[in-house]
Amino acid sequence: MAAKRKHGAPAVGKAKRARRAPSAGEAVPEGAPQEHSIPPQEYSIPPPVSQGKWKNKERVLIFSSRGINFRTRHLMQDLRTLMPHSKADTKMDRKDQLFVINEVCEMKNCNKCIFFEAKKKQDLYMWFSNTPQGPSAKFLVQNVHTLAELKMTGNCLRGSRPLLSFDPMFDREPHYALLKELFIQIFSTPQYHPKSQPFVDHVFTFTITDERIWFRNYQIIEEDASLVEIGPRFVLNLIKIFQGSFGGPTLYENPHYQSPNMHRRLVKLSVAAKFREKQQVKEVQKIKKKGTKVLVEEDPTEVVFETPAEEKPVEVQLVKPESKPIVKDKKKLRKIQRKKQKKLFRTEG
């Protein structure tokens, strides 16, 4: 029987030596077993794709408040998918103040934040913030379409770095220039990020139209460098830009912004005005019907085609007409008529 070796004790006997492939100068002995010759290129390990260092360590926290609907949840998940340098967190209670988000970002080791705030279960607000110093911007999100909803034909590699395309208007206005720098720091994937891929195959476009920022995501097709939309898509209506993170002095306020409550109120007032106008028209028609009718004088030409009726002589009946007996039975009526006829024949005879 083989002797058992204690744990930690040296092994009894000679240890097996690892075989290695003979070099080019060494000769193989005649009695030794021949090994399969391995070409030297299989020993070489290919170098990594990226030799650089991860210097720009931007991390974006993407989360929301309680009360969001399914479309907002899908949009938030799409942004997390497109941004490999993002992190997630649990939903924040609506009773908490917004400055608490700075502490959450500090615990998550994030220096940028995208926060979805839902109000009245129908209005969606999006915050972009540079924590904890600022600045931060608040937007009203409109016309949201997610990846699963649009069913677009475009596709891109998961974790690839995007190109950022901005409208020329971003360089003309100072508040748009500030938003451009904020979007660059949030949406651009850092170079040599561990979760990113060293490919550029899609474009994030930010276009200003109708005092709003339109976000689109396009795939770059290699054949002819044309663009195919991937999604998601949404429209940002700027409300305010704050100096601090989620608060502080107001740097810019959009004069063209109209709150959703005011918009709904104006829609209701317009509908009520139309209904009130219809009711007033009905009342005026009733008053016209009840009013006194104006008598029109007789037209003398109306009697032209009237012909007078023929005058008949008036006949005066001196004898009282005989009363006819009311008989319901027809047989009795026939009998009475026969009796009268017999009397007439007798009198004549």
C-beta separation of 175 from 275 below 8 A: no
Asked if pLDDT for residue 269 goes beyond 90, the answer is yes
Task: Kindly state the average pLDDT of the residues 184-199.
Answer: 89
- Position 24 confidence tier, pLDDT thresholds 50, 70, 90: very low
In this predicted structure, the answer to whether residue 14 has a pLDDT above a threshold of 70 is no
Confidence category of residue 333, pLDDT binned at 50, 70, 90: confident
Asked which of 89-98, 179-188, 242-251 is least confident by mean pLDDT, the reply is 89-98
What confidence score (pLDDT) does residue 320 get? 81
Structure tokens at 107: 């615990």
Which carries the bigger pLDDT value, residue 306 or residue 91?
91
Instruction: Tell whether 35 is covered by a domain.
Output: no
Residue 240 has pLDDT above 90, yes or no: yes
Is 232 among the domain residues? yes
Query: Distance from first CA to last CA of the chain, Å, rounded?
Result: 171
Does any domain span residue 243?
A: yes
pLDDT per residue as tens digits for the range 215-227: 999 999 877 788 9
pLDDT tens digit string along 107-143?
999 999 999 999 988 899 999 999 889 899 999 999 9
Instruction: Give 15's pLDDT tier (boundaries 50, 70, 90).
Output: very low
Closest among 192, 305, 211 to 254, alpha carbons compared: 211
CATH number for the domain harbouring residue 241: 3.40.50.10480
* pLDDT for 212 beyond 70: yes
Q: Which domain holds residue 235?
A: 60-263
CA distances from 163 to 196, 201, 236, 289 (A): 14, 8, 20, 72
Mean pLDDT, to the nearest integer, of 84-108?
91
Does some domain include residue 336? Answer: no
State both tokens at 254.
Answer: 């959009």
Residue 199, both tokens? 């490919």
Q: What is the average per-residue pLDDT within 191-213?
A: 91
Going by their DSSP bridges, the two strands 202-209 and 136-145 should be labelled as unpaired
Q: Over the Cα atoms of the chain, what is R_g? A: 49
Q: Which of 13, 49, 274, 37 is nearest to 161 (CA)?
A: 49
Q: Which of 42-46, 59-63, 262-266 has the lowest mean pLDDT?
A: 42-46
Q: Which of 28, 58, 10 is nearest to 183 (CA)?
A: 58
Give the predicted TM-score (pTM) of the model: 0.65
DSSP bridge partners of 86 = 60
Q: Span 314-320, mean pLDDT?
A: 81
SS (H, E, C) the chain: CCCCCCCCCCCCCCCCCCCCCCCCCCCCCCCCCCCCCCCHHHCCCCCCCCCCCCCCCCCEEEEEECCCCHHHHHHHHHHHHHCCCEEECCCECCCCCCCHHHHHHHHCCCCEEEEEEEECCCEEEEEEEECCCCCEEEEEEEEEECHHHHCCCCCCCCCECCEEEECHHHHCCHHHHHHHHHHHHHHCCCCCCCCCECCCCEEEEEEEECCEEEEEEEEECCCCCCEEECCCEEEEEEEEEEEECCEEEEEEECCCCCCHHHHHHHHHHHHHHHHHHHHHHHHHHHHHHHCCCCCCCCCHHHHCCCCCCCCCCCCCCCCCCCCCCCCCCHHHHHHHHHHHHHHHHHHHC
Burial of 31 (0-12, 13-18, 19+ CB in 10 A): exposed
Whole-angstrom distance, CA of residue 166 vs CA of residue 244: 25
Whole-number pLDDT of residue 282: 92
- Asked if residue 89 belongs to a domain, the reply is yes
HSE, CB side, 13 Å, CA atoms: give it for residue 19: 8
Q: What percent of the chain has pLDDT over 70?
A: 83
Q: What is the pLDDT of residue 35?
A: 47
Distances (CA, A) of 108 to 63, 115, 138, 227, 290: 12, 14, 22, 36, 78
What is the model's pLDDT at position 128?
96
Q: Is residue 240 part of a domain?
A: yes
Structure tokens at 124: 């969606």
Average pLDDT, the chain: 83
Number of domains in the chain: 1
Asked if residue 238 has pLDDT above 90, the reply is yes
Residues 71, 232: Cα–Cα separation, whole Å: 11
Structure token pair of residue 213 = 């920022």
pLDDT band at 18 (very low <50, low <70, confident <90, very high): very low
Dist. CA 322–CA 276, nearest whole Å = 73
Does a structural domain hold residue 20?
Answer: no
In a domain, 146, yes or no: yes
Instruction: Considering only residues 138 and 45, tell me which one the structure prediction assigns the higher pLDDT.
Output: 138
